[in-house]
Amino acid sequence: MNNPQMYQELLELIGTDSASGKETQIAEKLIAKLKEIGLTVLTDNAGDTFGGECGNVIGIWEGDLDGSLMLSSHMDRVPNGLGIHPVEKDGVLRSDGTTILAADDISGVCAILDGLRRAIGSGKPLPRLEIIFSVGEETGLYGAKALDMSAIRSRIGYIFDSPGSIGRFVNGAPGMFQMEVEITGRPAHAGNEPEKGIDAAHVMCEMISTLKKGRLDPMTTSNFPILSTGSKSCNVVCDFASFRGEARSRDLQKLTDYVTYFEDHCHAVAARYGAGITIEKHQNFLPFLIPEEDEVLVCAKAASAELGLDYRVEVGGGGMDANIYNAQGMATIGVATGYTKNHTKDEQLVLADFLRSGELCAKLIETYAARCGAK
């Protein structure tokens, strides 16, 4: 293995339990690692915004050049990410099959740490580097949303948080709305007079069964998998039901059009049965699409060429912290680090790709630095 330090750090951090809102253990380790590299480190109160126990970890390298570059990954992981036991076979790292692997996003964290050590250790003039290890990404991009952007000088950035082999860059991602519907029916004795009731569960099922959902077009999807009722007895007509889910699109107009259609559809079904209805909707984040001539992709292409990587620019289907930063005016793209099948027990990390991701991080810093003048 050509970078045992990076590999051992990966195993260390995968083995450090973390969850959305409970990132303290890994945050403490990353604070120490960033300080050891030579960065100034601070934390914020992002956790307070969503009931978490700690905030974002922010590292600053002041640099000698006139410019600023942001590098970011997230510290949390999806559920079933505690007590992970990694298993390596034929150059691929997996869990033992009982948990996720958490390469999403520990591989990204390690890529940045390795890239910093390489870039700073080279002794070459560098721009200001702003490192953000965020909290609560998997449950709503909460850390990025809470970040005080007035303290961030970078106008371009790289999020090491994308699946795929090294050389893949994600320049677009959908925006997302979450919707929850509550349906109020009328209880009645299910044996004596069911016709006097309004069955909220039936109304809910009709709403969902006749709703346009799944793959709506090449840019737009929706999914409503969480259903519940207030019923605790089979002899009473159900008087309350609810369901919730999401809609995503890389086209904001298509997304808002779908949300309008969703509301109209649900209200129409409820009215047909005389049921009461309330709908709550929340826009989680906006879509983004970075053109290939933008500086952030020009640097990525040049860095990939220097390393002999298969450079690819693709749009993604999931949200990430880049959605928040792009909406704030920072051109930010995703960087793949070699993992696939994330969020599942089949998640895996190709170590050859992962071990080059730190080299890529350093080359991105170097390529951007070449475009910066002296202070």
Domain holding 326: CATH number? 3.40.630.10
pLDDT of residue 373: 84
Last residue of a domain, one of 285, 301, 316: 285
Q: Strand 220-229 relative to strand 214-217: parallel, antiparallel, unpaired?
A: antiparallel
Phi-psi region of 108 (alpha: psi -120 to 50; beta: other; left: phi over 0): alpha
Q: What single string gives the DSSP state of each residue in 35-102?
A: HHHT-EEEE-SGGGGTT-SS--EEEEE--SEE-EEEEEEES---SS-SS---EEETTEEE--SSS---
Q: Rounded to two decimals, what is the model's pTM?
A: 0.90
In terms of domains, do 58 and 154 share one?
yes
Residues whose CB falls within 8 Å of the CB of residue 266, separated by 6 or more in sequence, listed in order? 181, 207, 211, 277, 279
Chain-centre distance of CA 336, in angstroms?
13
Number of domains in the chain: 2
Q: Say which CATH number the domain at 254 has.
A: 3.30.70.360
Q: Do 107 and 239 fall within a single domain?
A: no
User: Phi then psi for 117, rounded to 5 degrees?
Assistant: -60, -40
- Which of 226, 255, 285 is the C-terminal boundary of a domain? 285
Are 168 and 183 in the same domain?
A: no
Pairing relationship of beta strands 331-336 and 156-162 according to DSSP bridges: parallel
**Among 285, 319, 335, where does a domain finish?**
285
Q: What is the mean pLDDT of residues 195-213?
A: 97
Supply the range of the domain harboring residue 333. Answer: 4-173+287-374
Q: Is residue 288 within 8 Å of residue 333, measured between CB atoms?
A: no
State the pLDDT at residue 253. 96
What backbone torsions phi and psi does residue 182 show, to the nearest 5 degrees? Answer: -115, 130
With contact defined as beta carbons under 8 Å apart, do 270 and 306 qualify? no
What's the pLDDT tens digit per position in 346-374? Answer: 999 999 999 999 999 999 999 999 999 88
What's the pLDDT tens digit per position in 259-298?
Answer: 999 999 999 999 999 999 999 999 999 999 999 999 999 9
1, pLDDT greater than 70: no
| 152 and 180 co-located in one domain | no
Q: Are residues 138 and 67 in the same domain?
A: yes
At a CB cut-off of 8 Å and minimum separation 6, what does 230 contact?
200, 238, 239, 240, 241
Same domain for 84 and 115: yes
Residues 218 and 355 in one domain: no
Given a cut of 90, is residue 375 above it in pLDDT?
no
Give the pLDDT band of residue 230 (cuts 50, 70, 90): confident
Q: How far is CA 5 from CA 113, 134, 358, in A?
A: 11, 23, 11
Mark whether 134 and 50 lie in a shared domain: yes
